[in-house]
Amino acid sequence: MLIEIPAIDHRTGEPLASGERWSPQIHKSAFVSPDAQIIGNVEIEEDTTVLFGVVLRGDLLQIKVGARSNIQEHSCLHTSHGRTPTIISSDVTVGHRVIIHGATISSRVIIGMGLIILDEAVVAEDSIVGAGSLITEGKKFPPRSLILGSPAKVVRELSDEELKYIKFSVQSYVKTGRMYKKEMGI
């Protein structure tokens, strides 16, 4: 479901005097499950896959999902008043039941299942964050990191094989999104 809402001042939560409205912007090649909730100031780029039960709630600040990224079942992306937008860069895999709140995920990253990432955190490119990890507010991680734990910490640098797996994951979810678009006639 796509929901248009009044644009608000992200510091106060009050509607803008201009009467501007926010509508989700979705590239025509993206697959967005019919039961996903895409609300307000959300941009979804080309060949992105947004699966079943996902909530992208752009009612305070922008949520952007980059090209060829995928957001898997029951994940929720949101922001806080007066903080930072939620940015998912290109070629990112976001696993099942993930919460990303006002954080930045750089390109070529895998976010494991059941993970929580809080405001103003940054995961740099070419990284993997393990399932069930907790990335606390404002935490920043360097490129090519394997990140695990609660609270999350860098365990080691990723191998070349792990970098290849990130690319494989992205390619397989682009194919999955295309298959659902075709089979569902979307």
Give pLDDT tens digits for 6-54: 887 767 777 777 778 889 999 999 999 999 999 999 999 999 999 999 9
Q: Which amino acid is at 120?
A: E
Q: What pLDDT, on the 0 to 100 scale, is given for residue 169?
A: 97
d(CA 94, CA 25): 20
Tokens 């912007």, residue?
Answer: 25
Number of residues in the chain = 186
pLDDT over 80 (residue 185): yes
33 token code pair? 């499950």
Q: What is the pLDDT of residue 186?
A: 86
Q: Are 132 and 150 in contact (CB under 8 A)?
A: yes
pLDDT digits (tens, 9 = 90+) for 110-154: 999 999 999 999 999 999 999 999 999 999 999 999 999 999 999
pLDDT tens digits, one per residue of 59-115: 999 999 999 999 999 999 999 988 999 999 999 999 999 999 999 999 999 999 999
**CA 126 – CA 105 distance, rounded (Å):** 10
pTM: 0.94
The domains found in the chain, sorted by start residue, are: 2-184 (2.160.10.10)
Among residues of the chain, what percentage have pLDDT more than 90? Answer: 85
